[in-house]
Structure 1
Amino acid sequence: MTTLNPNIPAPELTTALNDAIAAMKAYGHTVLTPELLLYTFARGEEYNATRLLRHLSRERGFDLAAFAKTAEQMARLRKGRDGKLGFLSRSNEAIPLSDELLVVLDEGRGIAQALDEVQVGTHHALGAMSERGVSTSAFLQRHGITPAAMTDKLMEAAEIKRNTANDLAAQAAAGELKPVYYRQALLRDLSTLLALSQHRHVLLIGPPGVGKRSLVRSLALLMAEGKGPAEFKSLVELNEAALLIDAAKAVQAGARQAQGGILFIPNLQRFFGGILDAAFPKAERPLQQAFLATDPVLIGTLSRADYDKFVAKMPAVAENSHLLEVPEPSVEETAAILTVHRPHLESEYGLQINAGSMITTAHLAKRYLTETPLPAAAVHLLHRSCALVRAGSQTQNPFRPQAVNDTRLDDEDITLALSLMTGVPVSRLGGDERGRYARMVEAMRERIIGQDEAVLAVSRAVKTARVGLKDPKRPIGSFLFLGPTGVGKTELSKALAEFMFGDESALLELDMSEYQQEHAVARLIGAPPGYVGYEGGGQLTDHVRAKPYTIVLFDEVEKAHPRVLDVLLQVMEEGRLTDGQGRTAYFNETVVLLTSNLGSEYLIEPIVGEHHREMVMEAVKRFFRPEFLNRLDEIIIFHALSPQDLAAILVLLLKKEARLLQARGLHLQVSEEARAWMLAQNDHPEWGARPLRRIIQRTLRQPLADYLLEKDPPAGTSIHVRAGENGLVFE
């Protein structure tokens, strides 16, 4: 007897046909019929057709037990005609198939192919049984199982299979999941919660990046090894594409697919909060229903803040699930996690990675990539480092010519990648950079005139931090600049930004006269939840989170509200601030500068005596609390500028004017007499260097603009400036 091609039925249909053969023999029949197969579906537990019948019984309102009893009677009574084609049973016996069962298999194959599936499953066979001309169709249609209904269900099931969910446990068993690091203690706690007899849904709580999804994947790998919770046969993860198409159906279909197993739903907060806050509001109700049910067991992930805001007030979820905190791993544990990732990165990027670089990556990510927790920050840094090395090894790319044909990643590549990501100069000090920092005082003195004490103090702090000799939690330095207006307090801040970053714009300048009210604190760190401006963040925290290696200047700090000073106290002591949205900004790579005019009435002379210094400090101590002053690394007094200092500053300012003209190809030369005349126009030397800019604007820049418009000198012309009877003369 010719037998059916064994590749046509799917494995589960093959099993069902063998089970139907056992019933056939028990009833004394010799031909396998559709009724025998239908009865097998109705009484089974593991078949797709059985699960589909169970779903239809709830949807159509019929009793599945009564349905199975009638199907049994039909199977017992009906004798089919031999279709001249056999099925090879598990006992290697050729069992005749009835002509109607051949129609079922043929129609089922057409249904499967229409759904882009290769083999005929039990659900395809059930759909074919409902077609007109098959002996089971009238019985099925009386229960609402019509060809149209089956078409809808089968198309939905096919869409589910393609888009809704991935069985991570099945993928792990097939070797399709990448290995992950096993966090043993967390896996033990998770397995314990899943072993509960009731209320065993689990919510994994932690910020994005701590490894919640990896924990679930490690559970899937354990299940594939036969070491996970024994009662669960699958671990199904919802697919993002299906959620975008129809979130409610995706949740419902995922729950059906995960029956008898676990349904994993990442970022659970997206389903709650109504139409204003939820990404998928229509899926909120079916998801709550899933939490009220016991099968499948749900595992969701979200942050503590999102749980408190969206989920804690949902009894269906909160009362039927347990929370499992997933903490950030240690640096050492992160290095072990990276070691697991290493072989895959080597394969993906075509390079070799030094084993010792894993701990370097973890340390640097922990210290500098503070916005993202470990291990995500370290994994991201390692990817960027690999990409850098691969790009450098491509001769057509000019990124790193010194690394051409170098396919080994080491610590230097890690630090260089981090520098490019953050702007933090964490790479090893080369000879040129060592020399530049060694000459930092001289470089700063070229721009800051007459304030050697301030230059020395700030330079010491920066150089000490640059070689790694600082408290890793506190800012690089916290300084209070005291002195009258115009003596260089703000200018030193700008000079420091230019020296460290090559650009004055790296300075964040905050005018404390704008923070005199208590509510102004929200402008620094962001408004708390429920208040206006909550979504906007804080000027200070947002800037430092985005650019942690920066200089922050709090200008005229004595004008700030006391609550603002409390914020500064926390910055100087703990090196971090938490904004209104719960995000942390770290200040351990910032320089904190505060300026104040307190006691400036005692600093009117270029030379500050000890008595005057004591008077200034008394004024400062009367205003600031002792705990605030004790957090400062140094209090630096700026003295009044002498006539010689003002003359030197004028020369620096005129050099800037000359550089502006150089852009037009012109050369500016200001005579000594012209400079003396300009200094003589300063009616307020007690204001320091500040009037000099206005003098240059009024007596040099504006008349020079008129001269250039009138004469239009060609490029290469030297413009000489001398003092005349009525002002400056241009020649």
Structure 2
Amino acid sequence: MNNFDPIVTGSIELAQTEAIKRKHNELTEYHLLWGLIKNPNTIASKQLKSEKKILIGLLDQLPTVGKISLSEIKPSPNLSEWFTLASSEAIQAGRDTINEADLLRNFTKYFPQLKVEIPEDQETEQPDFLINLNELAEKGKLDPVIGRATEIRRVQEILCRRTKNNPVLVGAPGVGKTAIIEGLAGLIQNNQVPDIILGKQIYTLNMGMLMAGTKYRGEFEEKMNALIRFIKGKGREAIIFIDEIHLIIGAGKTDGAMDAANLLKPALARGELNCIGATTLEEYKKYIETDSALERRFHQVLVSEPTKEDTIQILVGLKEKLEIHHGIEITEEAIVSAVYLSDQYISDRYLPDKAIDIIDEAAAGLKLSADSMPPDLAVLDSLIRSKKILINANPQNKVLKTEISELENQFNHDKKEWEGKVLELKKVAQIKQQLDKANFLLQKAETEGDFETASRLKYGDIPKMVETLETFDISWKLVRKNIGEVIARATGVPVERVLRTQQQNLLELEAYLNRHVLGQTEAIAEISDTLIAAHAGLTDQSRPLGSFLIMGPSGVGKTETAKVLSRFLFGDEKHLFRIDLSEYSERHAVAKLIGAPPGYVGYEKGGILTEAIRRNPYSIILFDEIEKAHPDFSDILLQIIDDGRLTDAQGRVVNFKNCVIMATSNLKDHEIFFKNEMIGRLDAVLYFNHLNNEIIHQLIERELELLNEKLQDRELQIQLNKQFYERILQSGFDLKYGARPLKNAFNRMLIKPLSKLILKEPDLKGALMLNLNQDNLLDVKRIDS
């Protein structure tokens, strides 16, 4: 490693300049010392300035050559060795760059007649893999921490203990564990902590940088020892914060070497190292609890997910920094929508992290729209370009020239207006940035007792900035619609569905289902009422939105109901997850739904059912032909409909509370096959009726209506005479198979012959009456309009 810090780099450049000046083709330890003494920023320049004469004598003894360039100068063996030793010192100190202190630690080996002392602050220089949170707090680079006073106080209490004063924050990802420690650093910096913690510095440990460049045995141990030496050098002032603390288990462990956890244990036991950790509950159980010697040195602090109300307060606190970064205005409705919609639609992540991400992404999208040319301007620009191409072909067209001139005037006017708004937005962002800095300086001045500065800022500068901001009318504001668009992209639920209220949406459900699933009024009413009650919050919110067993003969609309429900709730059938249970008649096949057990092929892939719902938590799950499944399947279904969740083979909990569960069966009586415990947990057992002639007539009418919609582009409209209608009815209806054969009959008797007719007579237009003659050929008659 020959990476030098700026001071050493400058000294080497001075040494090279001296070597060229003296016509030396080899850069020696004498040249380097000359460079260190000549550099006013070095320790050597202060302590060895009087030794210049000795050094000049040593340089004069070196052999000279003719004219020489920089590229011809090579380091001497002694200098190369010195750099190697300095590199080892830097690695031991946990740094990637060589500084002057690293060179001076081996100084006497090359200059025994000279003496230099390294200042104490240089001996305990901060390693590169540590970041001082107090310094970041002092510079105002940390986000404000809101609503975590209880957890911060709990951490302070543990830090004030005489023994076991090492807290570990345990909580789900994204609930704000790291933010709590950043908040503590801010309180320490503002002197708002007990005396025992006052003056302490919190350093966050970057595990990636700690592990970097430690491929050879012993290098990792050197870095860990450098960490412990640094902490010892700071006395009791340093606190190390290890985010994802479970990573220290096994970190740096190679053949015969110890991992980071075992290297830290002695320092923790002796009280030489004050440490704060953060990890998730699962990883704490898996890694920390299994190592009792490590666990007993920490005290657990549980960090729960904040409530929606607390999350709103957190976002209000972050609002100003987000506005400064993106240069837009974030409305209160956007904040409230981000919290409630993310909580409703994103179930595999936690507040406040998911709400902050939604706001951040929506603001980034709005900022991009603000900086990009508006769509109407882009269309206008494209229109002008196309008309200019036409005018080149016909230069004498005065009408076209006038049109182009008018369009260009409109484009220039609109573009100037848009550019003015963009410029205004940048000015607002600049003023907000200055205001944020002024507020930070005000807080700092009040803490330090600088009342003159505080008074100037509070009653002079800040009110002026606020007054200036009020004169601007910002066009780009983050609103509920922007939040809905981000949620829609993340979940696949159409934005219209996300933004509509559930009451407005669901009150139309029964009528919508009855329009598309004919003849099953009672069953559809039961489905609609159940889903309305679930969305109104009057049922158990941990269970699925609805769970139904639909029984009835084939072809009466059981599967179609699930498809139509998916289209209504989510806009398409992509959210319908259908499982044909005839494929799960064996016990080993049922295991595929939640994943193969550990040690079996396919374990890492997860379960077919659980993975589908993890990726798409808003789904209609259709278990088709449930009576054909192995009896073990009922245990899985019971867990889903009763608890609303399922644990897969890898121990991950999958939530089904936003799903609708529909199971179908062709059996006539549910008591013959299904257990009472399962029937009792379902929301409803529904019986679909046989279809009669009237329903089949309606189905034919609907198919005909769909066909006429497709023929609109050809300016065609068709009708069927009574005989043709009856023939389709007779061929398409079977009491045993319901309406299933109707589609085939419609395709065979109408669609295929009509396709041939259209290709044969491409100019065929108007209203037509169709009949099928005895030879199964279409007989076409025009209907007089």
TM-score by length of 1: 0.67
Cα distance in 2 between the residues matched to 1:306 and 1:213: 16
**What is the match of residue 678 of structure 2?**
628
Q: Matched residues in 2 for 1:469 and 1:336: separation?
A: 28
Identity %: 30
CA RMSD after TM alignment? 4.9
Distance 1:681 1:175, change over 3 A: closer
Q: Which runs of 5+ in 2 are unaligned?
A: 1-5, 9-36, 60-81, 215-219, 379-420, 422-472, 781-785
Which amino acid in structure 1 is aligned with residue 110 of structure 2?
R
Aligned residues of 1:238 and 1:250 also touching (Cα < 8 A): no
> What displacement does 1:595 show?
1.5
Q: Is 1:650 paired with 2:700? A: yes
Determine whether 1:288 maps to 2:266: no
The alpha-carbon deviation at position 296 of structure 1 amounts to 3.1
Offset of residue 86 of structure 1: 13
Does 1:236 find its partner at 2:286? Answer: no
Cα shift at 1:484: 0.7
Deviations 1:582-605 (A, max 9, x none): 434333333222222221xxxxxx
Amino acid of the structure 1 residue aligned with 2:514 = R
Residue 177 of structure 2 corresponds to which residue in structure 1? 212
8 Å CA contact 2:315, 2:356 repeated in 1: yes
- 1:383 aligns with 360
After TM superposition, the score normalised by the length of structure 2 is: 0.63
Alignment of 1:136-285 (within 5 A): 136=114, 161=127, 163-181=128-146, 183-197=148-162, 200-226=165-191, 227=193, 230=197, 233-239=200-206, 242=209, 245-246=212-213, 248=220, 253-259=226-232, 260=234, 261-270=238-247, 272=249, 285=259
Gaps of 5+ in 1: 1-7, 11-82, 88-94, 146-153, 600-618
Q: Alignment partner of 1:685: what SS? A: coil
Residue 459 of structure 1, aligned match among 512, 519, 528: 528
Kindly provide the CA deviation profile for residues 70-128 of structure 1, in whole angstroms up to 9, marking residues without a partner as x: xxxxxxxxxxxxx99999xxxxxxx9976139999xx9xx999xx9x9xx987267348
- The DSSP-based 3-state class of the residue aligned with 1:636 is strand
Kept after mapping to 2: 8 A contact 1:658/1:668: yes
Give SS of 2:212's match: helix
Does the Cα contact within 8 Å between 2:224 and 2:263 map onto a contact in 1?
Answer: no
* Match 1:126 to one of 86, 100, 104: 104
Q: What is the SS of the residue equivalent to 1:446?
A: helix
Q: How does 1:355-366 map to 2 (within 5 A)?
A: 358=335, 361-366=338-343
Cα deviation, residue 453, structure 1: 1.9
Which letter maps to 1:499? Answer: F
Alpha-carbon deviation of 1:346? 2.5
Mapping of residues 390-405 of structure 1, within 5 Å: 390=367, 396-397=373-374
Are the aligned partners of 2:175 and 2:303 in contact in 1 as well (CA < 8 Å)? yes
Q: Is the 8 A contact 2:733 2:742 kept in 1?
A: no
SS at match of 2:762: coil
Per the TM alignment, residue 701 of structure 1 is displaced from its structure 2 partner at its CA by 5.5
Alignment of 1:220-619 (within 5 A): 220-226=185-191, 227=193, 230=197, 233-239=200-206, 242=209, 245-246=212-213, 248=220, 253-259=226-232, 260=234, 261-270=238-247, 272=249, 285-294=259-268, 295-314=272-291, 317-318=294-295, 320-354=297-331, 358=335, 361-387=338-364, 389-390=366-367, 396-397=373-374, 406-409=475-478, 414=483, 417-422=486-491, 423=493, 429=500, 439-463=508-532, 471-527=540-596, 529=598, 531-599=600-668, 619=669
Give 1:281 deviation, angstroms: 11
Secondary structure of the corresponding residue to residue 306 of structure 1 = helix
Q: Select which of 716, 722, 725 maps to 2:771.
A: 722
- Over 3 Å counting, the alpha-carbon distance change for 1:363 and 1:202 in structure 2 is same
Cα offset for 1:653?
3.8
How much has 1:670 moved relative to structure 2? Answer: 5.2
- Structure 1 pair 530–377 and aligned structure 2 pair: CA distance change class (3 A): farther
Q: Return closer, same or farther for 1:398/1:478 CA change in 2, 3 Å cut-off.
A: farther
Shift of residue 407, structure 1, vs aligned partner: 4.2
Q: 1:215 to 1:726 in 2, by over 3 A?
A: same
- Aligned positions, number: 594
TM-fit CA distance, 1:459: 3.3
- 1:85–1:96 contact (8 Å) kept in structure 2: no
Partner of 1:100: 51
**CA distance 1:317–1:728, shift in 2 (3 Å):** farther
Contact kept, 8 Å, 2:160 with 2:197, in 1: the verdict is no
Moved more, 627-636 or 311-320: 311-320
Q: Alpha carbons of 1:394 and 1:440: their partners in 2 closer, same or farther (altered >3 Å)?
A: farther
Tell me, yes or no, if the aligned pair for 1:271 and 1:281 is still in contact at 8 Å.
Answer: no
Distance between the aligned counterparts of 1:673 and 1:274, measured in 2? 82
Distance 1:212 1:503, change over 3 A: same
- Whether 1:679 and 2:653 are equivalent positions in the alignment is no
Counterparts of 2:624 and 2:257 in 1: how far apart (Å)? Answer: 51
Q: Which amino acid aligns with 1:171?
A: L
SS of residue matched to 2:141: coil
Task: Indicate if the aligned counterparts of 1:271 and 1:284 stay in contact, CA closer than 8 A.
Answer: no
Alignment partners' CA distance in 1, 2:101 and 2:572: 68
Partner SS state of residue 640, structure 2: helix
After TM superposition, the structure 1 stretch with the greater mean CA deviation from structure 2, 375-384 or 265-274, is: 265-274
Q: Following the alignment from structure 2 to structure 1, what is the Cα–Cα distance between the partners of residues 171 and 625?
A: 40
Q: Distance in 1 between matches of 2:705 and 2:257?
A: 67
* Counterpart code for 2:169: L
